[in-house]
Structure 1
Amino acid sequence: MIPRDCTPLGLALAVLAAVAIVVLPGQDPAPAAPAVPSLTDVWPGARITEHAVSGAPYTPLAYLDPGISAGVTRASDSIRLTVGDRVLREVPPSGSPRFAVATAPDALVWLELSDITGTGSLWRAGPRGENPVLVTADTGRVVLLDSQYDLVVHDEQAGWAATRGDATEMRTVALSGGPVTVTPLPGDFALTAWPFATSAAVEQAGPSELVDVRDGRVTRVGGQSAELVDCTPSWCRVQVLRQSGTARFDLMRPDGSERRRVGGKGIRPAFGDVVVLDRFAVVVDDDRGALVLYDTATGRAADLAAEFGTVLARGPFVWWSAGGNEALTWRVLDLRTLEASA
């Protein structure tokens, strides 16, 4: 504020002093936050493969290798599950069918469900979708969370979770067919890395549980009343909550050890799964509008993409969409190329 009795000379000197304050050396601005490196800055051997989509919208549900995927094409008159150019199933859009796909060295397995009833059928085929056959129609009301653990293949069996009343059923069946084995768990659970189920699917703050489906042993994972804890047998994601969202994003072991901060209030999960390959977490930095990969083995983080839509992960692959339906591109990262270049 300039005093009312300031003379013209005094005013001029005040202005010059103000200018001098602005331009005098040594008045450096506050340092900017350190930039997050790109993926290839951290892992020079990383490889991202691009797939442009033409025609009806296509969503990859599993990658068999960086060049071929199993996925769903949604047209106005049908919904098709395909592997490359091979059509595994073609069904009408009525009932809003959904699919969950899992891969194994010698088989491709999928659940085909009605989004209205939650029930459906389990199928298997060769590793590239050859000779599909029905395994069972006894699925129950399946729990689908767009997770890599919605359907798991283990020991020549397929496993998934279903709901019945106030309980969760862990269901398994041999890939060769036969009766479905049902293991009930009281409460709400979802499968994670076999043979464990997790209560994290409930999305409630506080402690979480891991249950060994084989013998019922329970591991209780500590969490405060303002923490949302999601776990696999190897890593847990901890989101410290506040009124307007997440204040902090951490990772830790289920026993509480090795806890480390991944980011602050602008960081959130890119999808439901905690880590991929028991090592890599994929997060969104909302403050910068970036998709980020965090490596639990080294504590390093790197930007995956500045433009992204849907983000998914299965096995060693992470993929995300860019552009709209008229010019949709899927970009897939094989995480094994990072391990090789570490």
Structure 2
Amino acid sequence: MSGWRGRPRTLSLAAALLVSGVLLAAPSTGQAQAPPPLTAAQAWPHALRGTIPAALPDGTAYEPILFLDAQTSVGTARSRDGKNLRLLLRRADGTLRQLRSAPTALDPSFPVAAAAGSVLVWAAGTRRGHELWSADLSTGAAPRRLTADVGDARFYQSQYDLVIADGQVHWAAAGTGDVTEMRSVSLAGGPVAVREQPGVWANSAWPWIVNGVTAASGATQLLNLRTGQTRPAPSSARAVTACSPVWCQVVSLTKTGDSRIEVTHPDGSARRTAAEGTAATVIADPVVLDRFEVLSQQTGTSDLTGDIQLLAYDVRTRSLIEVSPDAFAVSYRAGVLWWSTGSPDSFVRHALDLRTV
């Protein structure tokens, strides 16, 4: 069985050009400067936030893969002797629960996890094979393996890489030829159901899937696996599109060579510009919670530090909010946005539960 395929989603055309030096890093002189956006603390004073150290109390580096809330996370850390990779539940009070452990000699990985209520599901892999596991976080019961029949699983750093719905866990795997296997298994374990879908597809908000995940121009269609209903995605020349069933993100270039990020419903209605200039996408999923388009802007020191200004465009209020002026390592899953500040050698992680805004 081949290893996990965790290709990142196709970079936006704007981001690709930025890397090659085509985009301009500063607005044209003589233009009126827009007022600075409100900070997240000003705009959302009651939103729940958390800050966690980069290391565990034993000194080992901790890498979150999922936040259950702004202060509770699931992530990985090596053992102190370096011989094992651990999957841990890190609670708000700092206590830890080890969910799994695998010898580092087997090149282990825990690439993705998802939660629904008290049920946690994750993917685990080593050179010997790949599996899906689950645990009930409300009890101390031992985790159990759901299946080792995962196929050639494909993960795209999306919150929908694993979807828990209708008592099943759903994921996508590469089939033979130009075919995607939409796979599922019961939360109780058992045989894996496989539905073959021509083309390259990824899960979206259940029961929808979306194509174009590896295409240069992005998505062109959404498909409801339950009803068979399809929806076209808006497309245009020199643009990259990513869609959920409710909103699409369209990234293109302006006539002056700057980046433009727009959001629109899949039918093309309610189209509006979220940001322009050096704007870029920083997470895989468009308009999360059907409300927030998470993006970045270059700053005057970005070339030196690698930091970006982390922003969220609120489609309800049509306003741009500054989440952090100097962020890096940005991630999002299931309502919680997290990022780091500091330097690669000394940093702190921050989390913002967008569900509480």
Task: Flag whether TM exceeds 0.5 (same fold).
Answer: yes
Segments of 5+ residues of structure 1 without an aligned counterpart are 1-28
Mapped pair 1:33 → 2:34: yes
Listed one character per residue, the Cα deviations across residues 14-70 of structure 1 (whole Å, up to 9, x for unaligned) are xxxxxxxxxxxxxxx875331122112222223421111222221211122222111
Alignment partner of 1:147 out of 158, 167, 172? 158
Residue 43 of structure 1 corresponds to 44
Compute the displacement of 1:201 (Å).
0.8
**Percent of counterpart pairs with the same letter?**
33
1:126 paired with 2:145, answer no
- Pair 1:32–1:206, CA change in 2 (3 A): closer
SS of residue paired to 1:306: strand
Residue by residue over 1:259-304, the C-alpha shift from the partner in whole angstroms, topping out at 9 and shown as x without a partner, is: 1001113111111111221211110112463000111111111111
Give the corresponding residue for 1:309.
Answer: 328
Q: Residues 211-234 of structure 1, C-alpha deviation per residue, up to 9 Å, x if partnerless? A: 112243322113012111100001
Q: C-alpha separation between the residues in 2 aligned to 1:60 and 1:322?
A: 15
Trace 1:1-342 onto structure 2 (pairs within 5 A). Answer: 31-54=32-55, 55-74=59-78, 76-84=82-90, 85-93=96-104, 94-114=106-126, 120-127=130-137, 130=140, 131-165=142-176, 166-205=178-217, 208-241=220-253, 247-287=259-299, 289-324=308-343, 326-338=345-357
Note closer, same or farther for the CA distance 1:129–1:158 as it changes in structure 2 (3 Å cut). farther
CA contact (8 A) 1:122 1:139 kept: yes
* Distance in 2, Cα, partners of 1:86 & 1:319: 21
The Cα of 1:170 is off from its aligned counterpart by 0.6
> Counterparts of 2:212 and 2:354 in 1: how far apart (Å)?
25
Q: What SS does the corresponding residue of 1:56 show, helix, strand or coil?
A: coil
In structure 1, distance between residues paired with 2:70 and 2:33:
37
Q: Distance in 2 between matches of 1:318 and 1:207?
A: 24
Partners of 1:226 and 1:242 within 8 A in 2:
no
Q: Is contact 1:239-1:246 (8 Å) kept?
A: no
- Please give the secondary structure, in 2, of the residue aligned with 1:40: helix
**Larger RCO, structure (CA 8 Å, separation 6 or more):** 2
Q: Tell me how far apart the structure 2 counterparts of residues 189 and 137 of structure 1 sit (CA, whole Å).
A: 22
| TM-score of the two chains, using structure 2 as the length reference | 0.80
Shift of the 138–291 alpha-carbon distance from structure 1 to 2, 3 Å rule, reads same
Instruction: Compare CA radii of gyration and give the structure with the larger one.
Output: 1
Question: Which residue identity does 1:292 align to in structure 2?
Answer: L
- Bigger Cα displacement from structure 2, 64-73 vs 212-221: 212-221
Aligned-partner SS, 1:99: coil
C-alpha separation in 1, matches of 2:345 and 2:139: 28
Match of 1:102, SS state, is strand
- 2:210 and 2:298 map into 1 onto residues whose CA distance is 27
- The whole-number CA distance in structure 2 between the counterparts of 1:170 and 1:241 is 34
Which residue identity does 1:73 align to in structure 2? Answer: A
Aligned equivalents of 1:245 and 1:53: distance in 2? 38
Deviations 1:170-191 (A, max 9, x none): 1111100111111111111111
**1:53 partner amino acid:** A
Note the residue ranges of structure 2 that are not aligned, 5 or more in a row.
1-29, 91-95, 301-307
Secondary structure, counterpart of 2:213 in structure 1:
helix
**CA pair 326-307 structure 1, distance change in 2 beyond 3 A:** same
